[in-house]
Amino acid sequence: MREPKEVLARLNQSAFRRRIRLEQREVDYLNRKGIETVLRHAADFVEQRLAAAAPVNDGKQTPWRNHPVFVAQHATATCCRGCLEKWHAIPRRRPLDAGEKAYIVEVIKAWLELHAPP
């Protein structure tokens, strides 16, 4: 797996991914809860929505708004198994291992640190 900053640089080449931004309510939530709590949420979302070999509603399981992790998942192409395969070379149709789950959370963290105003 690539380094999160390398992945973010590659994702920044996508006009679609580059346009995705946090709205004020997501920034406020992040500031109110703190990065560590939000990253625990990220780990929970990855486990519940992505970890299975065939996640329920794959490709549509990640909302677009109302939580900073959801926005970051779309911006970082960690929103569904198809995007994980295309952008991160994490194959579909098998459960994610612990290293892959941790990597996904690290990519989300790197994006949030770059895009969330202090």
Return the pLDDT at 58: 84
| CA–CA dist 36, 53 (Å, integer) | 27
Q: What is the mean pLDDT of residues 79-102?
A: 96
Return the pLDDT at 92: 92
Return the pLDDT at 59: 82
Return the pLDDT at 61: 81
| CA–CA dist 49, 67 (Å, integer) | 14
What's at 95, amino acid-wise? Answer: P
Has residue 24 got a pLDDT over 90? yes
User: Is 50 within 8 Å of 80 (Cβ atoms)?
Assistant: yes
Has residue 2 got a pLDDT over 80? no
Whole-prediction pTM: 0.93
Q: The domain containing residue 40 runs over which residues?
A: 4-115
Among 7, 25, 14, CA closest to 108: 7
Show Cβ contacts of residue 105 under 8 Å, excluding neighbours closer than 6 positions. Answer: 39, 42, 43, 46
How many domains does one find in the chain?
A: 1
Residue-wise pLDDT for 34-77, tens only, equals 999 999 999 999 999 999 999 988 888 888 888 999 999 999 99
Share of the chain above pLDDT 70, in %: 99
Q: Helix or strand or coil: residue 93?
A: coil
User: Is 74 within 8 Å of 68 (Cβ atoms)?
Assistant: no
What's at 59, amino acid-wise? Answer: G
Token reading at 112: 């949030």
